Copies of this chain bind each other. A is one copy, B any other.
Amino acid sequence: MVNIIDGHNIADKLNIETKNRVDELKKKGILPGIVVILIGENPASVLYTRMKQQTAAKMGMHSVLKKFPEDVSQDEVLAAIQEYNEDPTVNAILVQLPLPKHLNQTEIIEAIDPKKDVDGFNSSNVGKLYNNEKGNYPVSCTSRGIMTLLHAYLDQLEGKNVTIIGRSILVSRPLQSLLINENATVTMVSLHTDNIDYYTKHADILVVAAGKPNLIKKEQVKPGATVIDVGINKINKHLVGDVDFDDVKEVAGFITPVPGGVGPMTIATLMQQTVDLTEWSLID
């Protein structure tokens, strides 16, 4: 029988833990601070940034939502980041993606101080993760959130065959690094892969981050596999994932629903990592 992975439950537990850590820091006179930068008015971005800013505020953190108009210049964004890099009340800086096309996303991400790069996208943090360096550094919140889900439901990841559909730098690639560093065997497949099923059918853990509604059917899934659905697609006002949930739950061992699976973990991990960055800044 399939087990539904309860992202809300795991996220709630993590949030309680994080809130406790915030309280402990505040007792010592330390206030974790996060700045969320929103550029333009993409409805999803407006929604996500508001949720992020409000969740941090509710946890008692110093939480700023900095808005720029759609036509802001590259230099203005870089100047603001530079200011927050130097601002001791700010421990975490997040630039909501995607950015308007006239902006250079790579340059903006690279401008964030790696020690305040709460999304973990800065190349030096990515490189440390890929090289499995010891020490403290942030990683992609969604990827780390998926790892928290996996650890909550599976005894170990070592030796597991993992197939990731999609190879984005925001989720798939950092997740691949995290899994490899825990001794899983990982294949990232893409639309260039000629026989995706060869990899999906062998996967003990199947992660789908393709952005295509109901792409994955039960015939493609190994019986008993853990299926993690990163997709968020809107169809007739309903949210659906990249996995055909009702079909795949007949064969999967564990499966995340959409909504209520991976989604809640992203913001919970963002909060967790803001506190991490604050604590790490004290021991540097």
Q: Which residues of A contact B (CB under 8 A)?
A: 106, 121-128, 130-134, 158-159, 161, 167, 169, 173, 177, 180, 183-190, 192-194, 198-199, 202
Contacts and interface: CB of A to CB of B under 8 A. Distances in A.
A186 B192 CA distance: 11
Sorted nearest first, the 6 A-B pairs with minimum C-beta distance are: A123-B127, A127-B127, A126-B127, A183-B192, A187-B187, A124-B124
A128 B127 CA distance: 8
Contact of A128 (B123, B132, B202): B123
Contact of A188 (B131, B169, B180, B202): B180
A198 to B, nearest CB: 6
Contacts of A186: 187-188
A134 B128 CA distance: 19
A184 B159 CA distance: 23
Nearest to A168: B131
A180 B167 CA distance: 9
B131 A169 contact: yes
B180 A185 contact: no
20 contacts: A106-B134, A121-B131, A123-B127, A123-B128, A124-B127, A126-B126, A126-B130, A130-B177, A132-B169, A159-B192, A159-B194, A161-B193, A167-B180, A180-B188, A184-B192, A185-B187, A185-B189, A186-B187, A186-B188, A198-B202
Given A158-B192, A184-B192, A186-B187, 18 more contacts: A106-B134, A123-B124, A124-B124, A125-B127, A126-B130, A127-B128, A130-B169, A130-B173, A130-B177, A131-B169, A131-B173, A159-B194, A167-B180, A180-B188, A185-B188, A185-B192, A185-B199, A187-B187
A168 to B, nearest CB: 10
A32 to B, nearest CB: 25
Contacts of A193: 159, 161, 185
Contact of A126 (B131, B180, B183, B190): B131
Nearest to A193: B185
Nearest to A131: B169
Contacts of A127: 122-128, 130
Contacts of A106: 131, 133-134
A194 B193 CA distance: 23
A130 B133 contact: no
Nearest to A104: B134
A199 B186 CA distance: 11
